[in-house]
């Protein structure tokens, strides 16, 4: 699903994709799990470093879902400050947010909104 939202500095296009993971349980039956994925552009003026990364991680830890953030093919746990900072995400760069769990859609929505805004607070 492609949708356009308006940030303070203009329109932002967000692409929602649903991924499907298939795992086998102990009875060798297929269990299908959906994972929400969204590609977005970081609009925070200073990128996702130090204070902004801490705020992002703090927000990510409020969700029950597993959450990952990916840049240039490298994904890290979005609940890890060291992982998020190791990606060195600058303003204007594209990232992919992925979540899997009971509140996955809300998690991706709120976290993408946080990094798509041009100011942290």
Tokens linked to 17: 């994709």
Sheet holding 66-71, edge to edge: 2-7, 10-24, 30-41, 94-100, 66-71, 74-77
pLDDT in tens, the chain (121 residues): 444 555 555 555 555 555 555 445 555 554 555 689 999 999 998 899 999 999 999 999 999 999 999 999 999 999 999 999 999 999 999 999 999 999 999 999 999 999 998 766 5
Q: At how many degrees (to 10) do helices 104-116 and 50-60 cross?
A: 160
Domains of the chain: 2-116 (3.30.1340.10)
Closest CA to 61 of 117, 101, 15, 9: 101
CA distances from 114 to 19, 23, 59, 96, 120 (A): 22, 32, 9, 14, 7
Retrieve residue 94's tokens: 């594209």
Q: Are 83 and 76 in contact (CB under 8 A)?
A: yes
This prediction's pTM:
0.73
- pLDDT for residue 79: 98
The DSSP code sequence of 44-88 is -TT-S-HHHHHHHHHHHTTSSSEEEEEETTEEEETT-HHHHHHT-
């Amino acid at each position: 699903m492609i949708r356009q939202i308006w940030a303070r500095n203009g329109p932002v296009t967000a692409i929602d994709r649903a991924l499907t993971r298939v795992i086998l349980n102990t009875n060798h039956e297929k269990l299908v799990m959906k994972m929400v994925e969204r590609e977005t552009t970081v609009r925070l003026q200073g990128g996702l470093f130090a204070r902004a990364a801490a705020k992002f991680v703090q927000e990510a830890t409020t969700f029950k879902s597993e959450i990952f953030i990916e840049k240039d093919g490298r994904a890290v746990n979005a609940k890890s400050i060291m992982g998020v900072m190791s990606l060195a995400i600058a303003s204007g760069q594209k990232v992919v947010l992925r979540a899997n769990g009971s509140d996955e859609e809300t998690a991706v929505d709120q976290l993408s909104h946080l990094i798509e805004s041009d100011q942290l607070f």
